[in-house]
Homo-oligomer: A and B are copies of this chain.
Amino acid sequence: MTEKRNLMAGNTFGHLFRITTFGESHGGVVGCVVDGCPPGIKISEEEIQKELDRRKPGQSSITTPRKEEDEIKIMSGVFEGKTTGTPILLLAYNKDVRPEEYQEIKDVFRPGHADFTYTKKYGFRDWHGSGRASARETLARVAAGAIAKKYLKEKLGVEIFSFVEQVGQIKTDIYFNLVTMEEIESNIVRCPDHKVAEEMIKLIEEVKSEGDSIGGVVRGVIKNVPVGLGEPVFDKLNADLGKAMLSINAVKGFDIGLGFEGTKLRGSNHNDPFHLENSMIRTKTNNAGGVLGGISNGETIYFRVAFKPVSTIKKEQLTVSKDKKEVKLEAAGRHDPCVLPRAVPIVDAMAALVIMDHFLRHKAQNYDYL
């Protein structure tokens, strides 16, 4: 094997509201430390669990059958039911761990997976269920995001939700502004357009039966964001949202407002005219997606997140082994035929973490405090 071995130190997200995640897919635990959480927030394991249950495996016929309760424990930073302003340790023990299932892929680089790059970067890899590269890590993000989401909702009225807009070629045109959390949660694919949802489910079942997988798009929505969040010129709100989403496993694209579609328009059509609404300055249209010059303008933020099809499939694939032999691979491991329904709470969580961090950064410099 290669002699080059490297490490990583990229497991922290955020500046003032910061999370550091840890844990492997088939190791003992997965979790995170939340540093910078304001004190005095009432938070319980039950509230966090509620978000985690939306992400957990085995929740429906179209998700992986791995059985994990993803039971979260608050281990520090909360005193008498409230955050104290000190680091919060959130921990979930892995239960349905079957390292033996990965024995056969131990020396083989699975296509689409991080097996090859981790091995080259670090010199070897934890081959039990993708180790650290597993999407199981996102459990920690959802747990931390639940705290941010609660704070933002209660203190600022910020509402964050997302839904499955597209699976494969099937796409809903539902207007995000009319969507409610209830409708999103009303079906197992998390698409609020019931008719399209049925088609999506059918497609996923079909793909599953073929041992294949399918990609899709999640639409994210953030309402009631205060004006002024975002720190140009590099830490623009849209740039940090983009980074947050692109750091999620399997994400290959992000756009905000009209995004790629808007590139076809002329300025006279794309610009959102300002006008007065109940003596407040608002834009008539919202093609910008709630962000101007990298700073929130008070309009609804909406964006798209592109997920590639899950790399684990049950079809035979060609690949290469660690000792440089070309081999055939029939993938082991339980998996999701389509990651989108479980990705929805992850997108929510990352959005909450970004808004929370930028809210604190913004507040640091609020002039009228003095």
From the candidates B10, B16, B28, B89, name the one contacting A236 in the complex (CB within 8 A). Answer: B10
Binds B, one of A48-56, A72-80, A183-191, A194-202: A72-80
Q: Given contacts A89-B29, A266-B212, A313-B268, is CB(A118)–CB(B293) below 8 Å?
A: yes
B87 touches A22 (CB 8 A): yes
Q: Which of A340-364 contact B (CB under 8 A)?
A: 360-364
- Please report the C-alpha to C-alpha distance between residue A274 and residue B325 in the assembled complex, in whole angstroms: 10
Q: Which of A263, A268, A366 has the most CB of B within 10 A?
A: A263
With a cutoff of 8 Å between Cβ atoms, the chain B residues found around residue A224 in the complex are: none
Binds B, one of A58-66, A129-137, A174-182: A129-137
A235 within 8 A of B: yes
Instruction: Give 1 or 0 for each of A251-279: 1 = CB within 8 Å of chain B CB.
Output: 11111111110111111111111111001
From the candidates B17, B113, B233, B367, name the one contacting A11 in the complex (CB within 8 A). Answer: B233
Q: Which of A116-158 contact B (CB under 8 A)?
A: 116-118, 120-126, 128, 131-133, 137, 155-156
- Please report the C-alpha to C-alpha distance between residue A49 and residue B232 in the assembled complex, in whole angstroms: 25
Nearest CB of chain B from residue A169's CB, rounded to whole Å: 5
A77 touches B22 (CB 8 A): yes
- Please report the C-alpha to C-alpha distance between residue A223 and residue B280 in the assembled complex, in whole angstroms: 43
From the candidates B18, B28, B287, name the one contacting A76 in the complex (CB within 8 A). Answer: B28
- Please report the C-alpha to C-alpha distance between residue A317 and residue B284 in the assembled complex, in whole angstroms: 12
From the candidates B128, B256, B319, B369, name the one contacting A252 in the complex (CB within 8 A). Answer: B256
B265 touches A365 (CB 8 A): no
With a cutoff of 8 Å between Cβ atoms, the chain B residues found around residue A11 in the complex are: 33, 35, 86-87, 232-234
A33 touches B20 (CB 8 A): yes
Nearest CB of chain B from residue A353's CB, rounded to whole Å: 10
B85 touches A7 (CB 8 A): yes
A87 touches B20 (CB 8 A): yes
B274 touches A319 (CB 8 A): yes
- Please report the C-alpha to C-alpha distance between residue A319 and residue B88 in the assembled complex, in whole angstroms: 31
A166 within 8 A of B: yes
- Please report the C-alpha to C-alpha distance between residue A252 and residue B272 in the assembled complex, in whole angstroms: 15
- Please report the C-alpha to C-alpha distance between residue A246 and residue B289 in the assembled complex, in whole angstroms: 14
B318 touches A79 (CB 8 A): no
B9 touches A231 (CB 8 A): yes
A168 within 8 A of B: yes
With a cutoff of 8 Å between Cβ atoms, the chain B residues found around residue A118 in the complex are: 293, 295
Q: Given contacts A112-B267, A228-B6, is CB(A252)–CB(B262) below 8 Å?
A: yes
The 3 closest A-B pairs by CB, nearest first: A114-B293, A253-B255, A10-B231
